[in-house]
Amino acid sequence: MNQKINDIGKDYFKEQKNQIRISFDDLLSKVKLLLSKSKELKNENNLLKENIKNLNLKISELKLHHTKINTELINKDKEISELKSLVLSSANNKMPLKDKEEAKSRIKELISRIDNHLEQHESGEKY
């Protein structure tokens, strides 16, 4: 009878040992899967960081370009104002007709260029 109890105990112990081994194998598989997913996420994060860096660089370039265009527009506006003043003051000072026509022509040209820049900017075209 003792032998039978010992055999039952040994079988039970082997069964429990086997269950623990299966549980450990299952746990090891899950840990490997989690490590693999973690590596994938790190790679994806690195790619996203790189993309953000590139987008920030592009934004900076666009801001510089926008500032440059605004500066050009301001300079052209200033030139138009100066030419208008010249034309208006020349009406009293008898400016030669040729100079008046050149000033008027230059004003029209600058206004046209400003309008073109603004239209391109509004339509989202690249410069």
pLDDT in tens, the chain (127 residues): 667 777 777 888 889 999 999 999 999 999 999 999 999 999 999 999 999 999 999 999 999 999 998 898 888 888 888 877 777 776 566 666 677 777 778 778 888 888 887 787 777 654 4
Instruction: Enumerate the domain spans of the chain.
Output: 2-123
Task: State the DSSP string of 72-83.
Answer: HHHHHHHHHHHH
pLDDT, residue 55, reads 97
What dihedral do alpha carbons 69, 75, 80, 84 form, nearest 10°? 160
pLDDT at 34: 96
Q: What is the pLDDT of residue 90?
A: 65
Q: Could you tell me the pTM of the whole model? A: 0.53
- The pLDDT assigned to 127 comes to 41
Close Cβ partners of 61 (under 8 Å, ≥ 6 residues apart): none
| Rounded-to-integer distance, Cα 98 and Cα 104, Å | 10
Please report the pLDDT score of residue 110 as a whole number. 80
